[in-house]
Amino acid sequence: MTLEYSFVIPVYNRPDEVRELLESMLQLQFSRDYEIVIVEDGSSITSQEIVEEFQEQLNISYYFKPNSGPGDSRNFGMKKAKGNFCLILDSDVLLPQNYLQEVDKFLQQNYCDCFGGPDASHPSFSNTQKAIDYTMTSFFTTGGIRGKKSSVNDFQPRSFNMGISQKAFEASGGFGQIHPGEDPDLSLRLKKLGFKLCLIPNAVVFHKRRIDWSKFYTQVKKFGLVRPILNKWHPGSAKITYWFPAVFTFGLLFAVLLLKLGFWWLFLLYVLYFMLIATHASIKNKSLGIGLLAVYAALVQFFGYGYGFIRSVWYIQILKQDPELKFPNLFFKNV
């Protein structure tokens, strides 16, 4: 089966990121032609001039549309794409030279209609970005769910590094209007339709994560808010592990209370856990500073996600409120 690839990249006010991504695409080692579809989602600072600089070197199409969110912009791009397989990226990623080779080799041997790939930090990223990348990908914080090989046949791709066949896109209608959460929602709908989803362990992207600590907290809180909504939409998709950040947070608060009362054993367990994160992150990144930042990132991640998750469980699953009315900032409307 010959696969014709179309990269689909939504962008919003990020011309510098587009330049870095396209520069990395110039280095791709792949023998067949591919196209790049850039979808400008109503930006006030556009990437058009950047795209024009690369049009003689890369096969790029550029479209400007009113702002309607990343999910709708990806759908727009896939409708414009000429390939039979779309590779969806966020604008804040960089591609290693072998990215397309790894994707094509895997799909030729083990075809699936939707795939995801792991993310990693690039040496050029800041210490904060590396620390956040660690907590979002490490076995000790998320179970390594974004990239462990045991997830190859049970994986919900994420839209910063995701591939989907045109057949699967047309059957599903693509991404919905929830954000974040549009990617696991699409994955769960594709499974219900009988499409095969998979993880390609070697299809790695370098994910910059354009966030500071405040934005990181807001992001993970939204992740927590979204999950009970998805569980309601897709009965049977809930997992006990989704409760871990909330249990961790309440446990830490309880441990501090016990410490004040003279009982130190529970707090000691948390200290040992944070020492494990600091040590592992320091060794992985060859930096004690990043290891210490990873501890702070883990705290932000667990508190933010846990708070959002419990809040959403209360309003959506217990009080049975309408998600779009209760959390309107999680939904984009088509323009």
209-262: per-residue pLDDT in tens?
A: 767 899 999 999 999 999 999 999 999 988 898 999 999 999 999 999 999 999
Q: Say yes or no: 179 and 248 in one domain.
A: no
Query: pLDDT over 70 for what percent of the chain?
Result: 96
231, 205: one domain? no
Task: Please indicate, yes or no, whether the overall pTM of this predicted structure exceeds 0.85.
Answer: yes
Predicted local distance difference test score (pLDDT) of residue 1: 63
Largest Cα separation within the chain, whole Å, is 70
Which residue range forms the structural domain that includes residue 312? Answer: 222-329
Q: What tokens appear for 251 in the block?
A: 């446990």
Q: Does the residue 42 lie in any domain?
A: yes
pLDDT at 147 over 60: no
How confident is the model over 204-214, as pLDDT tens digits? 999 987 678 99
Same-domain status, 181 and 302: no
Does the structure show a pLDDT above 90 at 121? no
Residues 267, 165 share a domain: no
The domain total for the chain is 2
Does 248 lie in the same domain as 197? no
Q: Hey, which residues does 6 pair with through a beta bridge?
A: 35, 86
Given 189, 210, 231, which residue is the final one in a domain?
Answer: 210
Closest-CA residue to 253 (of 272, 236, 266): 266
Q: Which residues contact 26 (CB under 8 A, 6 or more apart)?
A: 54, 57, 58
pLDDT digits (tens, 9 = 90+) for 21-64: 999 999 999 988 999 999 999 999 999 999 999 999 999 999 99
* 334 assigned to some structural domain: no
Q: Is the pLDDT of residue 122 over 90?
A: no
- Domain end residue (candidates: 175, 210, 245): 210
CATH number at residue 184: 3.90.550.10
